[in-house]
Chain A
Amino acid sequence: MTETSYAQALNDAIREEMRRHPLVFVLGEDVARMGGLFKVTQNLLEEFGSGRVIDTPISEAAIAGAGVGAALVGARPVIEFQFSDFMTIAIDQIVNHAAKLCYMTNGMVSVPMVIRAPVGSGISLGAQHSQSLESWFVHIPGLKVVMPSTAADAKGLLKSAIRDENPVLFFEHRLLYAQRGNVPDGEHLVPIGVADIKRAGSDITIIATGRTVSLALNAAQQLAQSGVEAEVIDPRTLQPLDTDLICRSVRKTNRLVVVSDAWSICGFSAEVMARVVELCFWDLDAPIQRVCGKNVPMPVATCLQNAVMVSVDDILNACQIVLPPKLFGLN
């Protein structure tokens, strides 16, 4: 194990995959000379040259389309978007082309392309630089959606994403970049589509993604002080979703809270809820609660931002609703 930052783990993943396969290349705004806005691609230019680490104009539609075209002829692009908000400009290429070409050609072609983008708020960048748009892409057949919460998962999942034959959208919460964690030494791959139990427990299941996983773990720690053992599950991959592991946990705990930085309306949390209701309704002892970003655009002032972002207290409040009063020592 080596302790490293989430950003460095991503950098290591890209470097290892570029060494492994000569047609893996990096494309995006400021990814080469500057090493990426959040430094995820730093020092790659020096090792691999400007043919494989390519700075582009500010042209998000062309960047995504170039990824599609390059993938069609056999290359393996790893694209960086500086903010997931900017993917809205590239939505045609992602949704109408990348997601559909394999299907429309009956499997004749595939689009092995990774698009990485930071999501979420926390640094007061306002409504156009803070969205958690992952749910949009989960909705589209043909796209895989990945959202790691730890350095080890970030590395292992990005390597798997680069080796995947399909378009993979890889969302990184920007508050995680500086977080440090232990990453297994040597070849470390985390399979796409496999959730992870970040903390085992038997009284309540908390499903959380991205940044909110650490908030859920924090809440679980506080619950433990009152004798409640929460199981915290990180799906890691939003599409395909590891429904089996989620349902196994719910069948054990009979209680569920779903946490997501994304908006609740038609959001990823709604999909998790729907699946649990469809598959484990009779196992539930209480209505499922969701803890999501408030359904407003992200404001800038810190106090306003904090008012709409998910907090540990929000998660504890939701758990209080779901747990029976006798089990919930805080009551």
Chain B
Amino acid sequence: MDQLDAYRKMLLIRFFEEEIYKLNKLGLLQGTAHLYIGMEAIAVGACTTMLNGDYLTSTHRGHGHGIACGLDTGRMMAEILGRVDGYCGGKGGSMHIADISHGMLGADGIVGGGIPIAVGAAVGSRLKAESSVVLCFFGEGATNQGSFHEGLNFAAVQKLPVVFICENNLWALSASFKEFTAGGSVAARAAGYGIPGARVDGNNVTAVFEAVAVAARRARQGLGPSLLECETYRWEGHSIFTRQDNRPDEEILHWKNRDPIQQYRNKLVETHAYPIQTLLEVEAQVGTQISNAAEYAKNSPMPDPGSALEHVFA
């Protein structure tokens, strides 16, 4: 893993989300957005393992996955502002950004909806005799959907090349993981399907990268899927529309003190001896990139209302 690139991408996600927050305050967002702040290490660590031809399925909280797999931040932001230059021409918005050319099969507004689709992408790529791996992201809330069980069982019996990556941020809107998920562990559920399961520090980009790399290698060798539970936290409320937040302040503070980006920055300086100047340069570059993305999005026109009737069918 290119360390500076991992740092740059995590920062890009953070600045992107902070910009979305600001654009919302300006009343420029079309619809809602679910921010990924605090969870950046998972998308970046996981997507850094992707090879050409690999795929991923994302979630309603999908900006991080899109950025980590290389989507253009300007076009992503334009989509969130409902503009014509957005990835979906303003029809998808935050929850439906996709770019097949990057293997990004789509964010998804249905909790757990992407899981069977990831399984199908693996079926399809096997049929095409490709050696693709599919990264399937979902939150801990999705692990209580039927699609989670159906998808994991299907992938396990077919030995499909899928890495199931649970982003356990402890809260599904107002429902805590502790109260609503029996057994207390997502990773432990892997045993029920006879596949490897592991808990990973989701705020440590290196740990995520290494765990996903092992699972992806296994998948590529035809040994089947794995389930990784990445423990993390979302700093913001469920969505920018959600005003009420039931989470205890001390819990939020506890996790903010474990900021995946700050931790990694400290590590780069202290353990890997990166000069501060290098990191400052990366930070400035990312800041400029996000300002440019926001300008691009704001300057992009609104779509022609007539386009609302197009593309119902291919």
Interface positions of A (Cβ within 8 A of B) = 23, 25, 27, 51-52, 54, 56-57, 59, 61-75, 77, 92-93, 96-97, 101-110, 112, 141-142, 144, 165-166
CA distance A109 to B120 in the complex (A): 15
B120 surroundings in chain A (CB, below 8 A):
65-73, 77
Known: A54-B123, A73-B55. 18 other contacts (CB 8 A): A61-B147, A62-B153, A66-B117, A66-B154, A70-B123, A72-B117, A73-B124, A75-B124, A93-B113, A96-B109, A96-B113, A102-B313, A104-B88, A105-B96, A106-B92, A106-B307, A108-B87, A165-B313
Contact A72/B157 with A64-B116, A105-B88 known, Cβ cut-off 8 Å? no
CB distance from A90 to the nearest CB of B (A): 9
- Contact of A72 (CB < 8 Å), options: B100, B113, B158: B100
B87 close to A105 (CB less than 8 A): yes
Docked Cα-Cα span, A77 to B147, in Å, equals 19
- Complex Cα distance, B128 from A206, in Å, reads 46
A144, B313: Cα distance in complex, Å: 9
Q: Which residues of B contact A59 (CB under 8 A)?
A: 150, 153-154
- In the complex, which of the residues A65, A67, A93 has the most CB atoms of chain B within 10 Å of its own CB atom? A65
A68 to B113, CA, bound (A): 11
Contacts of A103 in B (CB 8 A): 91, 311-312
Residues of B253-285 contacting chain A, CB below 8 A: none
Contact with A along B67-110 (1 / 0, CB 8 A): 00000000000000000000111111000101110000110111
In whole angstroms, what is the CA distance A51 to B154 when docked? Answer: 14
Taken together as a complex, chains A and B put the C-alpha atoms of A52 and B123 apart, in Å, by 10
The answer to whether A25 and B116 touch across the interface, beta carbons within 8 angstroms, is no
A97-B128 Cα distance, complex, nearest whole Å:
22
Which residues of the other chain, B, contact A141 by a CB distance below 8 angstroms? 312
Q: Could you count the A-B residue pairs with CB atoms below 8 Å apart for me: how many are there?
A: 160
B105: chain A residues at CB < 8 Å are 69, 72-73, 109
Contact call A102/B312, Cβ cutoff below 8 A: yes
**Nearest B residue to A98 by beta-carbon distance?**
B117
Measured between beta carbons, the chain B residues less than 8 angstroms from A72 are 100, 105-106, 117, 120-121, 124
Closest 10 CB pairs of A and B: A65-B116, A69-B120, A70-B124, A110-B314, A66-B120, A62-B150, A106-B89, A75-B124, A59-B150, A107-B311
Interface centre among A92, A96, A103, A106 (most CB of B within 10 A): A106
* B115 close to chain A: CB less than 8 A: yes
What's the nearest-Cβ distance from chain B to residue A13, in Å?
20
Question: B99 to chain A: which residues have CB within 8 Å?
Answer: 108
A54 to B122, CA, bound (A): 13
Q: Which residues of B contact A71 (CB under 8 A)?
A: 120, 124
Q: Which residue of A lies closest to B146 (CB)?
A: A61
Cα of A71 to Cα of B98 in the assembled complex, Å: 15
B263 shortest CB reach to chain A, Å: 35
User: Which among B96, B123, B158 is the interface contact of A69 at CB below 8 angstroms?
Assistant: B123
A110 to B312, CA, bound (A): 10
* Distance A105 CA – B118 CA, assembled complex (angstroms): 17
Does A92 contact B314, Cβ atoms closer than 8 Å?
no
A residues in contact with B153, CB < 8 Å: 57, 59, 62
Within 8 A of A (CB), among B142-161: 146-147, 150-151, 153-154, 157-158
B32 within 8 A of A: no
Q: How far is the CA of A165 from the CA of B313 in the complex (A)?
A: 8
Is B2 on the interface with A (CB-CB < 8 A)?
no
Q: Which residues of B contact A74 (CB under 8 A)?
A: 124, 128
B127 within 8 A of A: yes
Minimum Cβ distance to chain A for residue B123 (Å): 5
Hey, which chain A residues are within 8 Å of B128, CB to CB?
Answer: 23, 73-75
Contact of B154 among A23, A56, A165 (CB under 8 A): A56
Residues of A within 8 A of B96 (CB): 104-105
- On chain B, the residues within 8 Å of A108 by CB distance are 87-88, 98-100
* A64 to B, closest residue via Cβ: B116
Residue B126, interface by CB 8 Å: yes
Residues on B with beta carbons closer than 8 Å to the beta carbon of A104: 88, 91-92, 96, 98, 106
